[in-house]
Chain A
Amino acid sequence: MGTYSRLDPAFIAGSKGSLFALHHAPEHAPEKVSDSTECIVAIPSFAEEMNRCRYMQTLLAQALNKQGHALVSVDPYGTGDSSGDFAEASWDQWIQDTIDATHYAKQLGYKKISLLAVRLGALLAMAAAPEIENLHRMIFWQPVTNGKTFLNQFLRIKIAASMGRDEKAETTAHLEELIKSGQNIEVTGYDVSPELFSGIQAAHYSNHLDHLSCPLSWFTVLASEERKTPRGDLQAMEKWQEQGVEINHQTVIGPAFWQAHERTLTPELITATMNDITMNQPNGSTPHE
């Protein structure tokens, strides 16, 4: 850790059990916390992606601390070091955990609360946002906008894992049938309940078009100059803009850190995010072009 940071771990009371919270506090917090100190509450992605994104989250926390801002992350119920098993997790529970995480940030003395949503976390953030008072801004990193498509890709991992092995090939249709009949399914070591599955499946950005009142900074990571922002994402942004939401979309060229099984960092994304945050601080530094 750098000299500007302090790590305060804690267990906070969630609605179903205790949740593990990590507060990356800037130096001299809470004494020097002012109204302009921003606290970013991080909403993680799903299953293995959550672990893969932790390094990037920590890097951002360190960069924030350096500028006198804070980051709080709370492991949703059934994940990380929080209580409960993954199999007991549900989508509604995670929305509540997201809201509780922002309450914790307020309890720590922060007045300016923002959300950083990573991948599937974006759909949680959209659902939680209307319940969060005075939400300052939302930051999306490679957001998932369609829960159904995301789940399909997740189920495909199970099918792909059986490739080249001498077992009967699974199909996504069969896996969905199992879920519908009330059974849990296990994908890459994560036991997904029908409740969680149906919650993610129903999650879609279009359910939240008229509920967003804060500015949104949307970051897309592209592997190379040849790749483009997915068309579905551009459509989602357009629809929000039609509703009057202020969207700042930026693309960053770098590796897909949420997919790599080796530790992979995209420092360009940290820089772009920090620029965006400091640029929009009333008392903060102005951007340099």
Chain B
Amino acid sequence: MSLQQETIQIIDDVLMLEGQVEHFNEDTGLLGSIPEFDSVAVVSLVTALEEEFGCAFDDDELNADVFATVGSLTKVLEQKLN
């Protein structure tokens, strides 16, 4: 599974989107686009990503640019894992 697919899978799990993510791609908007994507969801998602990939997010990475799209979030993860 690619990192992007894994990220999408975790978004599905955390936001309980129940398979709506099937047609998600790099350009799919998150913050401001998905109603379930509120502040609690962001923190739950970050926690799940940290647990899954064993990485850590800094406070200043909790910003609108990082969580704009599936692609922007995957890119930040990619940098962390390399």
Which residues of chain A are near B32, meaning CB under 8 Å?
A: 164
Q: List 17 A-B contacts (CB under 8 A).
A: A48-B40, A153-B47, A156-B62, A157-B40, A157-B42, A157-B43, A159-B62, A160-B42, A160-B43, A163-B31, A163-B42, A164-B31, A226-B13, A255-B16, A256-B16, A256-B44, A259-B41
Which residues of chain B are near A170, meaning CB under 8 Å?
A: 59
| Chain A positions near chain B (C-beta within 8 angstroms) | 48, 153, 156-161, 163-164, 169-173, 188, 223-224, 226-227, 230-231, 255-256, 259-261, 264
Main SS class of interface, A:
loop
What separation, in Å, do the CA atoms of A230 and B47 have in the docked complex?
11
Known: A158-B39, A163-B64, A256-B14. 11 other contacts (CB 8 A): A156-B42, A159-B62, A160-B40, A169-B60, A169-B62, A169-B63, A171-B60, A188-B40, A224-B13, A227-B13, A261-B36
Which residues of chain A are near B42, meaning CB under 8 Å?
A: 156-157, 160, 163
What separation, in Å, do the CA atoms of A261 and B36 have in the docked complex?
8
Main SS class of interface, B:
helix
| Chain B positions near chain A (C-beta within 8 angstroms) | 9, 13-14, 16, 31-32, 36, 38-44, 46-48, 51-52, 59-60, 62-64, 67
What separation, in Å, do the CA atoms of A169 and B39 have in the docked complex?
14
